[in-house]
């Protein structure tokens, strides 16, 4: 009888403790430190794949989002899945003479951009000796020149308000050698130099600049590539310590972290989202 009483008392004590924890959770800063409420995020290449996943995660965290890309059908479909607070603008970031008009339009219709995600990319799989100067320039114009022009135009407003985040989508090709992607690897490596320089210039003015380096992520593009090359997929999995491909949401939530107050002392960083492949053997 006494044993039953002691157990009952313990249960009451546990219930009281659980209630206190639950009560304190209501005032905990944990959820709000990841909140992006009040932010306006512009995501290039936001209609599909990793770009869309970042847009969805930023939107779920409370930000209003504007997706930018060349294909309206994909942008419209992506925005429809998010609903209120999501919109899009059709724009090719390599047309730098039109970028100022894009930024002006977005500012006029939605307010100033407080979170810029430079995600738009162009891939080229080709041997280095067969890659022409024009092909090389086409890749650089998307990843570097286009991203720089957009950054150049939104950064002054961020520094004036002393508030803003700029995020770049880097790559495993930024970190180690991958064959047959000389233009892409060069562009992504140059991107890290841009992140580091921008962070030193802008961070004193309240603007943080970081990069995410996705590993091999399960996307429509990767599925198509693996469909005709199963040996490549097996090789990638064997070199990934977590022995699987990543999900696009893994990159999306990393973008939320780097854009949120939780990362307020993080700038100039490159965050691999790769299941350990960049440090595995």
Catalytic residues: 184
According to DSSP, residue 204 is labeled: G
CA 273 – CA 150 distance, rounded (Å): 25
Task: Give CA 249 to chain center in angstroms.
Answer: 10
Could you tell me which of 198, 170, 167, 168 has the C-alpha nearest to residue 184? 170
Structural element, H or E, at residue 169: strand 164-169
- 116 phi and psi, to 5 degrees? -110, 130
Could you tell me which of 221, 259, 219 has the C-alpha nearest to residue 117? 259
Order across the sheet with 86-90: list the strands: 86-90, 64-69, 40-44, 115-118, 164-169, 207-214, 270-273
Is residue 47 within 8 Å of 88, Cβ to Cβ?
Answer: yes
**Contacting residues for 124 by C-beta, under 8 A, at least 6 apart:** 131, 135, 138, 139, 181, 183, 184
**Rounded to 10 degrees, what is the CA torsion of 119, 143, 261, 103?**
-80
């Amino acid at each position: 009888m006494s044993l039953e009483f002691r157990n009952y008392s313990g249960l009451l004590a546990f219930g009281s403790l659980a209630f206190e924890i639950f009560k304190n959770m209501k005032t905990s800063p944990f959820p709000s430190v990841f909140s992006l409420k009040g932010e306006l995020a512009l995501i290039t290449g936001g209609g599909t794949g990793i770009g869309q996943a970042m847009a969805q995660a930023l939107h779920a965290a409370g930000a209003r989002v504007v997706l930018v890309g060349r294909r309206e059908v994909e942008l419209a479909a992506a925005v429809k899945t998010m609903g209120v607070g999501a919109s899009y603008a059709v724009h090719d970031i390599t047309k730098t003479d039109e970028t100022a008009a894009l930024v002006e339009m977005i500012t006029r219709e939605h307010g100033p951009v407080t979170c810029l995600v430079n995600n738009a990319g162009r891939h080229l799989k080709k041997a280095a000796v067969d890659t022409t100067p024009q092909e090389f320039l086409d890749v650089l114009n998307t990843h570097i020149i286009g991203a720089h022009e957009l950054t150049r135009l939104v950064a002054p407003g961020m520094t004036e308000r002393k508030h803003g985040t700029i995020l770049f989508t880097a790559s495993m090709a930024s970190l180690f050698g991958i064959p047959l992607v000389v233009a892409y690897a060069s562009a992504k490596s140059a991107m890290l130099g841009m992140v580091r320089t921008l962070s030193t210039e802008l961070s004193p003015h309240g603007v943080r600049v970081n990069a995410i380096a996705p590993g091999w992520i399960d996307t429509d593009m990767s599925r198509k590539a693996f469909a005709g090359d199963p040996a490549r997929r097996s090789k990638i999995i064997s070199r990934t310590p977590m022995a699987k491909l990543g999900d696009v949401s893994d990159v999306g939530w990393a973008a939320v972290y780097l854009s949120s107050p939780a990362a307020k002392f993080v700038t100039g960083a490159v965050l691999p989202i790769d299941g350990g492949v960049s440090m595995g053997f």
